[in-house]
Amino acid sequence: MPAAVEIEQFLGGLAPDSAVPMPAEMRENIQDIWRTIERSVPGTRFNFDFWTKCVPRRSTYPACRAVIAARRQGAGFEDAMIFAIQQAYYLQARNPSNDSTLIELAEEIGLDRGRFAADLRHPDTHVELLEEIRWARELGVRSFPTLLLSHDEGYSEMPVDYGDANRILSAIAAHL
């Protein structure tokens, strides 16, 4: 019988709160990354309208707090919020650095809008985010997403391969 694997997600933060528009060079670099991903990951597309319709900011903490606020309304809402944020950012040209966008997304996935908005802005939500970021850094996580496997000897980083899930599963099986 195969060993059971328990999955635990935590947020890494990436970029703290900022009202400053993203520098032009960074915008261009991220757009180049998007193009590279489109070429290398079959079926992946991005909506480049984001870069003209929105004021991009290098600020991922709001989206991270949104995941925590969604999680507080039920474990099933965490993945739904992550998916909604990704769809908004990558495909719908909506800015997930804006609380207003995140509140709209919460309502769209069936969350209580008022409760979500309060949790999104609550200091405890930010403290919880900082704790998850601390934990990620303590584990040595420096890129996102990262897949770690916990075992008797500690943690091992597993490959993240969007084109071949078997590569990931084989690496996990080899460590179990």
Q: Answer for the pair 155, 148: CB distance below 8 angstroms, yes or no.
A: yes
If one counts every other C-beta atom within 10 angstroms of the C-beta of residue 15, the result is: 15
My answer on whether 40 and 88 are in the same domain is yes
In a domain, 18, yes or no: no
Mean pLDDT of 127-138: 95
Assess whether 127 and 169 both reside in one domain. Answer: no
What is the pairing mode between strands 147-151 and 154-158?
Answer: antiparallel
Percent of the chain whose pLDDT exceeds 90? 73
Would you place residue 3 in the very low, low, confident or very high pLDDT band (cuts 50, 70, 90)? Answer: low
Please give the backbone phi and psi of residue 146, each rounded to the nearest 5 degrees, phi first: -125, 140
Tokens 């500690």 belong to residue: 154
1 assigned to some structural domain = no
Cis previous bond, 2, omega within 30: no
Total number of domains in the chain: 2
Query: Is 31's pLDDT higher than 60?
Result: yes
pLDDT tens digits, one per residue of 66-118? 999 999 999 899 999 999 999 999 999 999 999 999 999 999 999 999 999 99
Do 128 and 157 sit in the same domain of this protein?
A: no
Structural domain containing residue 104:
24-138
Q: Are 36 and 79 in a shared domain?
A: yes
At 2, the pLDDT band (50, 70, 90 cuts) reads low
Total-model pTM: 0.90
Q: Is residue 11 part of a domain?
A: no
With 60 as the cut, is the pLDDT of residue 1 above it?
Answer: no
Q: Is residue 63 part of a domain?
A: yes
